[in-house]
Amino acid sequence: MEPIISIKDLNLSIGNSSILRNINVDIPKNKITIILGPSGCGKTTLLRCLNRLNDLNPQVKITGSIIMHGEDILHTSTDVTEIRRKAGLLSQRPYPLPMNIFNNVAYGLRINRDLPRKEMHQRVEEMLRQVSLWEEVKDRLKEPAGRLSIGQQQRLCLARGLAVHPEIILADEPTSALDPISSEAIEQKFRELKDEYSIVMVTHVLRQARRIADYVVFMYLGEVVEQGTAKELFENPQKEMTQAYLKGLYLN
Amino acid sequence: MRTVMFLCTILIVTILFIILYSIFKKGLPALSWEMISQVPKGGYYLGKEGGILNAIIGSLYLALGSTVLALVVSLPVALYLNTQLVRYGRLTEFVRFLMDLMWGVPSIVYGAFAFTIMIALGIRASLLAGIITVALFIIPIMLRSMDEILKTTPRGLLEASISLGSTYSEVSYRVYLKQCLPGIVTAVLLSFGRAIGDAAAILFTTGYTDHIPTSLSQPSATLPLSIFFQLSSPIPEVQNRAYASAVVLMVIILIISIVSRILANRFIKHQIKH
CATH of residue A11's domain is: 3.40.50.300
Beta bridge partners of A18: A13
Q: Cβ separation of A164 and B88 shorter than 8 Å?
A: no
List chain B residues with CB under 8 Å of A107.
164, 174
Question: Whole domain around residue A36: which residue ranges?
Answer: 3-246
Least confident window among A72-76, A196-200, B68-72, B179-183: A72-76
**Residue (of B84, B268, B102) closest to B201 by Cα position:** B102
- Helix or strand or coil: residue B46? helix
Confirm whether A252 is domain-assigned.
Answer: no
Q: A142: how many CB neighbours lie within 10 A of its CB? A: 9
Confirm whether B11 is domain-assigned.
Answer: no
Q: How far apart are CA A64 and CA A22, in angstroms?
A: 8
Alpha-helical runs (H) found in chain B: 2-30, 33-37, 53-82, 89-104, 107-121, 127-151, 155-163, 168-170, 177-197, 200-203, 223-231, 236-267
List chain A residues with CB under 8 Å of B161.
97
Compute φ and ψ for A68, nearest 5 degrees.
-135, 125
Q: In terms of CA atoms, which chain B residue is nearest residue A101?
A: B270
| Closest-CA distance of chain A to residue B179, Å | 5
* pLDDT level of residue A8 (50, 70, 90 thresholds): very high
Residue pair B66/B127 in contact by the 8 Å Cβ criterion: no
Q: How far apart are the first and last CA of chain B?
A: 29
CB-CB: which of A85, A100, A146 is closest to B273? A146
At A243, the amino acid letter reads Q
Instruction: Write out the residues of chain A at the interface with chain B, using a CB-CB cutoff of 8 A.
Output: 51, 53, 55-58, 81-82, 84-89, 91, 93, 95-100, 107-108, 111, 144-146, 157, 160-161, 164, 170
Enter the DSSP assignment of A73.
Answer: S
Q: A110: how many CB neighbours lie within 10 A of its CB? A: 17
Confirm whether A98 is domain-assigned.
Answer: yes
ipTM: 0.89
Q: Which H/E stretch holds residue A243?
A: helix A240-246
List chain A residues with CB under 8 Å of B269.
144
Whole-number Cα distances in Å, B147 to A2, A58, B15, B144: 47, 21, 30, 5
Q: In terms of CA atoms, which chain B residue is nearest residue A83?
A: B165
Confirm whether B79 is domain-assigned.
Answer: yes
Helical pair B2-30 and B236-267, crossing angle rounded to 10 deg: 120
Dihedral class, residue A17 (left if φ above 0, else alpha if ψ from -120 to 50, else beta)? beta
Dihedral class, residue A8 (left if φ above 0, else alpha if ψ from -120 to 50, else beta)? beta
Number of domains in chain A: 1
Q: How far apart are CA B199 and CA A206, in angstroms?
A: 69
| Closest-CA distance of chain B to residue A247, Å | 34
Q: How far apart are CA B15 and CA B11, in angstroms?
A: 6
The pLDDT value given to residue A252: 47
Confirm whether B2 is domain-assigned.
Answer: no
List chain A residues with CB under 8 Å of B159.
53, 56, 89, 91, 95
Q: Which H/E stretch holds residue A125?
A: helix A117-130
Q: What is the CATH number of the domain that holds B228?
A: 1.10.3720.10
Q: How far apart are CA B223 and CA B52, in angstroms?
A: 8
Q: Cβ separation of A58 and B87 shorter than 8 Å?
A: yes
| Closest-CA distance of chain A to residue B182, Å | 12
Q: How far apart are CA B56 and CA B248, in angstroms?
A: 8
Q: How far apart are CA B260 and CA B142, in angstroms?
A: 15
Confirm whether B10 is domain-assigned.
Answer: no
Number of domains in chain B: 1
Confirm whether B107 is domain-assigned.
Answer: yes
Q: A208: how many CB neighbours lie within 10 A of its CB? A: 19
Sheet holding A60-68, edge to edge: A17-28, A3-14, A60-68, A71-72
CB-CB: which of A58, A89, A95 is closest to B154? A95
Confirm whether B177 is domain-assigned.
Answer: yes
Confirm whether A166 is domain-assigned.
Answer: yes
Confirm whether B172 is domain-assigned.
Answer: yes
Mean pLDDT in residue range A36-59: 89
Q: How far apart are CA A168 and CA A194, in angstroms?
A: 9
CA A78: distance to chain centroid?
Answer: 22
Q: How far apart are CA B107 and CA B102, in angstroms?
A: 10
Mean pLDDT in residue range A158-164: 93
Confirm whether A164 is domain-assigned.
Answer: yes
The pLDDT value given to residue A1: 67
The pLDDT value given to residue B274: 61
Q: Which H/E stretch holds residue A189?
A: helix A180-193
Q: How far apart are CA B273 and CA A102, in angstroms?
A: 19
The pLDDT value given to residue A250: 59
CB-CB: which of A81, A91, A99 is closest to B160? A91
Confirm whether B108 is domain-assigned.
Answer: yes
The pLDDT value given to residue B111: 94
DSSP state letters, B101-128? HHHHS-HHHHHHHHHHHHHHHTPPS-HH
Along the 274 residues of chain B, how does pLDDT read in single tens digits?
889 999 999 999 999 999 999 999 999 998 989 888 988 888 888 878 888 999 999 999 999 999 999 999 999 999 999 999 988 888 999 999 999 999 999 999 999 999 999 999 988 899 999 999 999 999 999 999 999 999 999 999 999 999 999 999 999 999 999 999 988 998 999 899 999 999 999 999 999 999 999 999 999 999 999 999 999 999 988 999 999 999 999 999 999 888 888 877 877 777 887 6
- Helix or strand or coil: residue B38? coil
Using alpha carbons only, give the angle A208, A37, A30 rounded to the nearest 5 degrees.
Answer: 55
Question: Whole domain around residue B70: which residue ranges?
Answer: 31-270
Using alpha carbons only, give the angle A42, A46, A47 rounded to the nearest 5 degrees.
Answer: 120
